[in-house]
Amino acid sequence: MAEASASGSTAGRKSFFQTLEFDTRLLGMIGAFIMVCVVFNVLTEGRFLTPRNIFNLTIQTVSVAIMATGMVFVIVTRHIDLSVGSLLATCSAMMAITQTQLLPNLGIDYGSPAMAPLAIIVGLATGALIGAFHGWLVGYLAIPAFIVTLGGLLVWRNVAWYLTSGQTIGPLDDTFQMLGGIGGTLGAGLSWVFALIAVAAAWLAINNARRARIRHEFPVKPVWAEAVLMGLSAALILGFVATLNAYQIPVRVLRRAFEARGEVMPDGYTQAYGLPFSVLLLIAVAVIMTLLARRTRLGRYIFATGGNPDAAELSGINTRLLTVKVFAIMGGLCGLAAVVASARLSFHSNDIGTLDELRVIAAAVIGGTALAGGLGTIYGAILGALIMQSLQSGMAMVGVDAPFQNIVVGAVLVLAVLIDILYRKRTGDA
């Protein structure tokens, strides 16, 4: 009787998750992330899950997560890009030189409203052009992407060094620095406004998806399942914003800000940081890349080519040009990540982006992107980047030295690939 009850309970749980149409791989990653957070929170005596550390963890994840979304497209098309960290350094160097040398020589001085936008355009253009060049070498000259980007790893790291003569360049423009994280945030009030808009957008997306299924006469989830999904999305968004709003600006920083304006800070005055601009940038990238993957012809071509390159070419897809486009997107995202990384540091340094290529590839693979091509998700790559950063941040807080941190990261990457192989064999996707 007990056995029958247990089997019935298990069947109920399965039907519940199947009804909600949850991705089992996503559930596994979320479970792993929760486990990492709980373990490190215990080891750090509650310091890991404080609003301050979550805020810092979030802004530290952004640059790698942005590049990981592009790496999904690269790996899906059965290529690899080992040059992203070095390309980030070159884009950062170009933007730093633009702000400190090129624009001042043109009469656009430090603090000018045009300085930050022009520098960002230079960085994005640099990344996209170099990425397109890599794609041309791979697509039209048939040089393996591994070799092209391995060469790029060496070339662009040292090009960045020569551009700056090996010097640290800074400080960067104040407006530019606002995209780095703690220097530019929405504040508590606007963060709550953004949260409500995000909740409404999530609910609208769920409702539109249901209507589309009905319109095309596809099976739909029960109303209660849709309500559960809406409730979960609202809880995640509002909980995340509430956590960031709980991180208060230090009193000494507020006092200096009031003194700079010639005012006296009222007794008991507090102010929260709220959502960083860099996180908003990551959210925008995630939405755009997801729409690109799911709703555009380019996205369909990318996944079709990754699934079967020969069949894709025979069906009329220009796989050579597609390769150029994919690597150009990757390069542009490296430029965007360079904006966030250099703005967070407030200067360009020679070691910026070091080992980021490994972190980005690991984030995409841990997030479920198949090295064999054809499968991958944007949200999975971002979650993979968050898991990687959580591991490194947690180990640093515990006091683990850097060499052992890299050992753990390497072991986790190999384990993630093994789990991916076993999962695909079990589900028949291999």
The domain spanning residue 105 has which CATH number? Answer: 1.10.3470
* pLDDT band per the 50, 70, 90 thresholds, residue 16: low
Alpha carbon distances (Å) from 277 to 29, 52, 177, 238, 274 = 26, 16, 10, 17, 9
Q: Mean pLDDT throughout 132-142? A: 96
Whole-number pLDDT of residue 99? 92
One domain, residues 190 and 267: yes
The most confident of the ranges 99-103, 133-137, 403-407 is: 133-137
Residue 139: phi and psi, rounded to 5, are -75, -45
Whole-number pLDDT of residue 142? 93
* pLDDT band per the 50, 70, 90 thresholds, residue 144: very high
Q: What percent of the chain has pLDDT over 90?
A: 52
- Determine whether 273 is exposed, middle or buried from the number of CB atoms within 10 Å of its CB (0-12, 13-18, 19+): buried
Distance between CA atoms of 345 and 76, rounded to whole angstroms?
32
One domain, residues 38 and 120: yes
pLDDT at 158 > cutoff 90: yes
One domain, residues 155 and 222: no
Q: Mean pLDDT throughout 358-383? A: 89
420 in Cβ contact with 373 (< 8 Å): no
One domain, residues 239 and 158: no
The most confident of the ranges 110-124, 149-163, 202-216, 412-426 is: 149-163
Q: Mean pLDDT throughout 214-243? A: 87
Number of domains in the chain: 2
Q: Which of 145, 144, 131, 128 is nearest to 327 (CA)?
A: 131
Q: Which of 65, 63, 149 is nearest to 323 (CA)?
A: 149
Instruction: Note down the domain range covering 174.
Output: 22-183+293-427
Distance between CA atoms of 317 and 16, rounded to whole angstroms?
40
Per-chain mean pLDDT for the chain = 88
> Which of the two residues, 127 and 405, has the higher pLDDT score?
127
Whole-number pLDDT of residue 22? 66
One domain, residues 160 and 50: yes
Distance between CA atoms of 88 and 332, rounded to whole angstroms?
10
Q: What share of the chain is helix, strand, coil (3-state, %, to 5)?
A: 75, 0, 25
pLDDT at 9 > cutoff 60: no
> Which of the two residues, 225 and 10, has the higher pLDDT score?
225
415 in Cβ contact with 387 (< 8 Å): no
* pLDDT band per the 50, 70, 90 thresholds, residue 254: confident
> DSSP states of 113-177 as a string?
TTHHHHHHHHHHHHHHHHHHHHHHHHHTS---HHHHHHHHHHHHHHHHHHHTTT--B-PPPHHHH
**How crowded is residue 278: how many other Cβ atoms within 10 Å of its Cβ?**
28
Q: Mean pLDDT throughout 391-404? A: 88
Please say whether the dihedral angle defined by the alpha carbons of residues 37, 76, 204 and 226, taken in this order, is positive or negative. negative
pLDDT at 5 > cutoff 50: no
Is residue 288 one of the residues assigned to a domain? Answer: no
Q: Which of 159, 35, 164 is nearest to 86 (CA)?
A: 159
Q: Which amino acid is at 358?
A: L
Last residue within a domain, chosen from 275, 301, 328: 275
pLDDT at 174 > cutoff 70: yes
pLDDT at 219 > cutoff 90: no
Upper half-sphere CA count for residue 424 (Cβ side, 13 Å): 16
One domain, residues 312 and 398: yes
Alpha carbon distances (Å) from 12 to 15, 19, 70, 227, 236 = 5, 10, 38, 18, 25
Q: What is the pTM of this model?
A: 0.91
66 in Cβ contact with 284 (< 8 Å): no
113 in Cβ contact with 314 (< 8 Å): no
pLDDT per position as a tens digit, 17-58:
566 666 677 777 888 888 889 999 999 888 999 999 999 999
376 in Cβ contact with 294 (< 8 Å): no
Last residue within a domain, chosen from 248, 275, 302: 275
Lowest mean pLDDT among 93-97, 189-193, 208-212, 312-316: 208-212
Is residue 75 one of the residues assigned to a domain? Answer: yes
Lowest mean pLDDT among 30-34, 322-326, 336-340: 30-34
Whole-number pLDDT of residue 18? 63
Q: Which of 13, 23, 32, 7 is nearest to 229 (CA)?
A: 23
One domain, residues 163 and 311: yes
